Structure 1
Amino acid sequence: MKTLGPIELALRLLRRELTVSLRRRTELANPLFFFLIVCTLFPLGLGPSPQILAELAPGILWIVALLSVLMASDALFKGDFDDGTLEQILLSPVPLYTTVLMKTLAHWLLTGVPLTLLSPLLALMLQMPSEGLGALLLSLGCGSLMLSFIAAIGAALTVGLKRGGVLLSLLVLPLFVPVLIFGSAAVQRAVAGMDASSPLALLAALALFFLALAPFAIGGALRVSLDQ
């Protein structure tokens, strides 16, 4: 029997997670509809003034994207826990680090990436100047990756609880705040014609940090949750 290399194994795990997740299309569509609907409601609540909308657009987009990622995170490990797959994952010879890394990346690819690609359309609807679109895409791309890993840690800690959604929000929302601050600051600086490279570089560095180390925390949280 052929032994798979680490890269081939990781790609197969990622493909499996994407295939399984795509079968639950309703769960995948909910965050996107939430993102679209809430951003659409802001012009109705704030009024049609282009200046007010343009000024608030970076913060609005980032806050709603943050909540959309959080909304999709509660079920990240829930299905595997309910059907007993999670216990098999922990007993499997496949490194837990690789498994949770691919599960979280699949979550980001199906949640964070679509939100990022949809954001320029909503930004134009909110009258945000086109100068900030590039920074918006880059900041949301890196930021949503971090949000997915942070949310995955919280989801792993609360996976065994019957009503873990509220506790998940309380655990991860404080950790979302730095990402929100730097992400919206990058877009605001770009809209104002200033150099946005510093907050974008910091977001990229933090994204790589979480990509490398967060799977250890997620795996540890899963072990703790199943040992209870």
Structure 2
Amino acid sequence: MRSMTTPGLLQSARALLARDLRLLWRRRGDSLQPALFALLVVVMFALGLGGEPQALANVASAVLWVAVLLAGLLSLDTLFRGDAEDGSLEQWVLAPVPLAWLVAVRVFNHWLTTVLPLIVATPLLGELLHLPREQLPVLLVSLALGTPLLSLLGAVVAALTVGMRRSGILVALLALPLYVPVLVFGAGSVAASAQGLDAVGALLLLAAGLVVALVLAPLAAAAAIRIALN
């Protein structure tokens, strides 16, 4: 039974990823919006603080975390909305693979195309904010653990509001309280490292939250999608 189920899961994941990437390529102008938005946030903070290197260095890690968080939130409303409008979500429910699996694949694709480029660009953005280079490894690890958790939490919120029209503001209002603890531990780990304290505790909490969300978030989002379609 396992050998018959696994190929179906892998084939469905490849098919969904290929479809999403094709659609993303057709709308490649829209796909650049999160990166441009994150860059705009960084530039505005730099201008607001007057370009003072020491002042920027003190808040650089927190600014980068906020920029990545808001950039991911910008595209959260479209996570399932296009599929709901063209009827693809109904096909997801009728598919011979678990709905939670398809949700997990979509969340992975969202993180891969929206957040991962920002993580890759973090060293460059950090230079713009005069981020101390010794803080960069902890920042990258915290982003690598925290941003998938943000995407999983956001998927649950997006699934809850998929049946509503013009729910962009509602998605943000529902998601931000869930994002705050991740932001606190993510930016806090870098701040602790900068003060010479041990940042492992905060990173382990992010890792634990990610493991729990990997198990529960796709199931919760799948249940919310079923409710929205009924």
TM-score band, normalised by shorter chain? over 0.9
Structure-to-structure mapping, 1:91-130, within 5 angstroms = 91-130=94-133
Within the candidate set 206, 213, 217, 1:214 is matched to 217
Aligned AA (1:9): Q
Taking a change above 3 Å as real, the CA distance of residues 96 and 7 of structure 1, as seen in their structure-2 partners, is closer
Structure 1 counterpart of 2:146: 143
Deviations 1:79-108 (A, max 9, x none): 111111111111222210111010000101
Deviations 1:91-145 (A, max 9, x none): 2222101110100001011112111111121112111100110011111111110
Deviations 1:16-49 (A, max 9, x none): 4334334321232100000011101211111122
Contact 2:135/2:194 (8 A) holds in 1 = yes
- Structure 2 distance, partners of 1:38, 1:198, is 29
Deviations 1:123-170 (A, max 9, x none): 121111001100111111111101111111111111121111011011
Deviations 1:199-219 (A, max 9, x none): 112111211211121100110
Do structure 1's residue 8 and structure 2's residue 10 form an aligned pair? yes
* Cα-Cα RMSD: 1.7
The unaligned stretches of length 5 or more in structure 1 are none
- Structure 1 distance, partners of 2:68, 2:183, is 10
TM-score (norm 2): 0.92
- Structure 1 distance, partners of 2:205, 2:22, is 33
Within the candidate set 46, 61, 64, 1:61 is matched to 64
Q: Deviation at 1:10?
A: 5.2
Structure 2 counterpart of 1:153: 156
Structure 2 counterpart of 1:28: 31
- Structure 1 distance, partners of 2:203, 2:12, is 28
Stretch moving more, 45-54 or 30-39: 45-54
Structure 1 counterpart of 2:205: 202
The unaligned stretches of length 5 or more in structure 2 are none
Contact 2:9/2:97 (8 A) holds in 1 = no
